[in-house]
Structure 1
Amino acid sequence: AATPPRGGASAAEEEGASSAAASAAAPSSALAARVQEAATLVVRADEAYAARETGLARSLLEEASALGLPDAARAEVRWRLARTLKELADEEKAAGQAGGSDGARKAAKQREKSLMLESLGAAREAVDLDGDQFGAHKWYAIALSITSAYDGVRAAIEQSFTVREHFEAAVRLAPADATSRHLLGLWFYEVAGLSWATRKVAAALFATPPTGSHAEALAHFEAAEALSPGFYLKNQVCLAKCSLALKDKPAARRWLASAAAMAPKSADDEASLAEAKKLLASL
């Protein structure tokens, strides 16, 4: 499932923090005041999210959601809420993996699933409200790629085309956003690595099943790295994996050495760093 780098908002997301809210038509002073209040709450929520105060970010965005906003302004709020709920789901996932009783792990898993389904709903609403916001498409694709897997391989395959379409929309709307490009590359990488059994299921479902190659994935990962060098440790690990799949060991070593020298900024980075070191030692 697609997972973006954890941390503050991307440059493209920061630029959009209040753009739609500020530009939304305001036919009355009361509506204008609500739009301005929402813009302030969005800025505070972005700051809280960047500081990993995820619960606070959620509260601020839910407060903004209740204001009665024009479509574009509400969409800005809703995709940010989807992003925040995804992070809260990740926290529940980590809690469930940390140990404890079977009951505690099951409860954490259920909370994780509930948060992700809520994230999906918020992101879908954002897309419906304003299809010109790249963040809405990006976070809808992320949430859909995760939640579709809850219903098994068949459901995940059925939704795979939709996931790709929304990642492509995010890239088209914000071509300078490295994260969106990385996630599109990850889609191609995961499709390229599908097992024989999964490919058989896909072939039975579609006349033209989803296809992707390591070469296509590599091109997207390279584009992401060119946009923002070193923005995400996992992107360099993915570059190395694609290089290995394409029998280019020298390139794989270069990317793994670069990744192994990076300082991790999150639990996701820690996992990617460990993988980079392990792969590098095996070459």
Structure 2
Amino acid sequence: MNVSFLASLFAAGVLCRAAMADYASHMAAGDSARAAFDDATALAHYRAAVEERPGSYEASWKAARALLDIGDRLVDKKKRKEHFLQAEEYARKALSADSSGDEGFLQHGVALGRIALDTSAGEKLRFAREIRRSFEKALSLNPENDRAHHALGIWYREIATLGWLEKTFVDMYLGKVSRDEYARKAAAHLEKAVAINPAYISHRYELGETLEVLKRPREAVRQYKKALSLPVSDADDADIKAQCRERLSDLAGE
């Protein structure tokens, strides 16, 4: 066998193993950075992992999630929109890599929801149906995905609390459903999210908000108090706890 051919095979094997090691190290570093609430560093590593392995489902959806987390905290509308559009692109990459993965659909739905915030009323309606479809698909693939229940619960609550005119258009576009029914569906999904992951502070807060919509303030108070008793596990938890205190103060004054 030709020596140069053998050398080429050896070199290719070395490069392949190096690429695999680089991918794994970037993924591990990204996960560590996220655990330390350093989303910018996490994003840099997930992006590098996607470059090392363009067809990586996990690196793609994690890059999308990091972009969404960073975008949510940006004040500049243009930069925020850029992050959300990039997140949607990475989510689509994840779906192309593995259409049977629930996280790809979840991040895609969340990205569309963020993009829809800066669109016209008509565009919001078009997005609304696609967003719900993404969350429902995520749950059909993994019924125990607490964050998908969380996201779909918020979707239902937002529809339930629309203004009269907006709700009229939603009924025409999505089919007529009462506000109470939407609110009850919102609570059911958020209760499921809490049942799956009871230590996640945001689940408790959003459930409390939804219980207020349903005129169940005592139950809402229990959720806010429970959220305050939980240890911080997410970069936004301190802010969410502050919101819980505000809601408790407001409810105490009613």
Please, what TM-score do these two structures have when normalized by structure 2? Answer: 0.81
What number of residue pairs does the alignment pair up? 237
Separation of aligned partners in 1, 2:168 and 2:131: 20
Residue pair 2:23, 2:53 contacting (<8 A) in 1 also? no
Q: Is the 8 A contact 1:260 1:277 kept in 2?
A: no
CA RMSD of aligned residues (A): 2.6
Partner of 2:248: 277
* Structure 2: gaps (5+ residues): 1-11
> What is the CA-CA distance between 1:112 and the residue it aligns to?
1.5
CA change 1:257–1:88 in 2 (3 A) is: closer
Q: After TM superposition, where is structure 1 displaced by more than 6 Å over at least 4 residues in a row?
A: none
Give per-residue Cα distances to partners, 1:124-164, cap 9 Å, x unaligned.
22112211222211111111001022112221111111111
User: In the alignment, which residue of structure 2 is the partner of 1:208?
Assistant: 175
Q: Take 1:226 and 1:214, find their aligned partners in 2: how far apart are those partners?
A: 18
8 Å CA contact 1:149–1:155 kept in 2: the answer is no
Q: Look up the match of 2:206.
A: 238
1:60 aligns with 2:45: yes
What do the CA deviations read for 1:186-245 (whole angstroms, capped 9, x no partner)? 1111111111111233345x263687611111111111111121312x322333333333
Distance 1:52 1:41 in 2: 16
Query: Closer, same or farther in 2 for the Cα pair 1:116/1:279, shift >3 Å?
Result: same
193-202 or 220-229, which deviates more:
193-202
The alpha-carbon distance between structure 1 residues 270 and 175, as it changes in their structure 2 partners (threshold 3 A), is same
Secondary structure at the residue paired with 2:198? coil
- The Cα of 1:111 is off from its aligned counterpart by 1.4
Are residues 91 and 143 of structure 1, via their aligned partners in 2, closer, same or farther at CA, if it must alter by over 3 Å?
same
- Is the counterpart of residue 169 in structure 1 residue 137 in structure 2? yes
Partner of 1:91: 73
Cα deviation, residue 68, structure 1 = 4.3
Q: Distance in 2 between matches of 1:56 and 1:253?
A: 36
Residue identity matched to 2:51: A
Tell me, in whole angstroms, the C-alpha distance in 2 between the residues paired with 1:207 and 1:110.
30
Distance 1:85 1:125 in 2: 14
Are the aligned partners of 1:161 and 1:210 in contact in 2 as well (CA < 8 Å)?
A: no
Partner of 1:66, secondary structure, is helix
The structure, 1 or 2, with the larger RCO (C-alpha pairs under 8 Å, 6+ apart) is: 1
Q: What TM-score results when the alignment is normalised by the length of structure 1?
A: 0.73
Q: Give, in whole Å, the separation in 2 of the partners of 1:52 and 1:259.
A: 19
Distance 1:183 1:224 in 2: 9
What are the superposed Cα offsets for residues 74-114 of structure 1, whole Å, 9 maximum, x if unpaired? 22111111111112223323xxxxxxxxxxxxxx3221211
Q: Go from structure 1 to structure 2 and tell me whether the alpha carbon gap of 1:63 and 1:208 turns closer, same or farther (over 3 Å shift).
A: same
Larger Rg: 2
Q: Which residue of 1 aligns with 2:64?
A: 82
Deviation (angstroms), 1:182: 1.1
User: Counterpart of 1:91 in structure 2: which amino acid?
Assistant: R
- Higher helix residue share: 2
